[in-house]
Amino acid sequence: MINIAKNKDEFLNSLFKPVDGKTYDGYIIRRTKTGVRLFMFGDEFHVNKHAVLCSTMKLPNGKTWYSYAPFHVTDRIGTYSECDTFCRNILKG
């Protein structure tokens, strides 16, 4: 199970004082009207309002490019059903 902290401070604190013997796998950057931006596995992701996990990339013109998250990321979360549940839980808060 992937554990996501509510903010960066909670995430960083878990590195030095693990919660239930574990550190968080990432943290929520911010919530927007189109979904939730989060940091996990050393990269930034977005869960859109349809509960789809997306990779994000900044383009040279300053805009953000969204694409489906790669398999090596979704496989770390688990099966399709587990990934869907994870995304829906992130959206709920």
Distance CA 15, CA 25 (A): 10
Quote the distance between the C-alpha of residue 46 and its chain's center.
6
CB 80 within 8 A of CB 68: no
Give how many domains the chain has, as a whole number: 1
Query: For 27-80, what is each residue's pLDDT tens digit?
Result: 999 999 999 999 998 899 999 999 999 999 999 999 999 999 988 888 899 999
Query: For 77-90, what is each residue's pLDDT tens digit?
Result: 999 999 999 999 99
Which residue range is the domain that position 18 belongs to? Answer: 4-92
- Whole-structure pTM value: 0.86
